[in-house]
Amino acid sequence: MKKETIHQLAKKIWNYHHLNQKLEKADCILVLGSYDIRVAERGAQLFLDGYAPLIIFSGGLGSLTKNIWLEPEADKFAEVALKMGVPKDRILIENKSTNTGENFLFTKKMLSERNINPKKFILVQKPYMERRAYATFRKLWPEKKCVVTSPEISFEDYPNKEIVKDDVINIMVGDLQRIKIYPQKRFQIPQEIPSEVSKAYEKLVAVGYTKHLIVGLGYLLLWVKL
């Protein structure tokens, strides 16, 4: 398959993952950890711009960062925020979670223990994980309101020397699979996937973008049947 064709198929999935929700002021900014420091910068800038009086960084060492970092994602992100001028007493850190569900469950527990009860959140995540973050939050924390945002970067400009394009495509394909099957496991709310996005997924899987898929024939068949 030609590189340009792969690019166009991947961009369909990128656009689907990206929700483009309108930002509004909230009680708390919740930044989900990852290997992308630009997520930390986006969250910190939103705090500095006055979108919320509190910022939480959530993330331990996940499947990707455990191989490249020694300190938890949340601690590394908090350091970025401090250097940008976010006051230390406005930062909370949850640094044990290893996946998106744990980000919310562990943060929920931490806030409860501190008697902090924000009603509205701004979630900050990578651009191609906006939809998954939103779906997981709505399932696990339905009594709260949220909008989700991410670094304002196009698909073309997102890859860099640390985050190569093929890795981004593999992760996007895997996250789309999870959006399809996780509602059955009660990890996320269900969401409609347009046929053109499903077809893009199938074509990218067929040419080898499978590194981030949940393995097992049953999961691949489940995609076709649902």
pLDDT tens, 160-213?
A: 888 899 999 999 999 999 999 999 999 999 999 999 999 999 999 999 999 999
pTM over 0.85: yes
Q: Are residues 144 and 74 in the same domain?
A: yes
Q: Are residues 96 and 111 in the same domain?
A: yes
One DSSP character per residue, 134-173 reads HHHHHHH-TTSEEEEE-----TTTS--SSS-HHHHHHHHH
pLDDT tens, 55-80?
A: 999 999 766 656 666 789 999 999 99
Look at residues 115, 149, 183 and tell me which one is the last residue of a structural domain: 149
Q: Are residues 200 and 164 in the same domain?
A: yes
Q: Are residues 100 and 193 in the same domain?
A: no
How many whole angstroms separate alpha carbon 93 and alpha carbon 95? 6
Helix, strand, coil content of the chain in percent (nearest 5) = 50, 10, 40
Q: Residue 113 is part of which domain span? A: 18-149
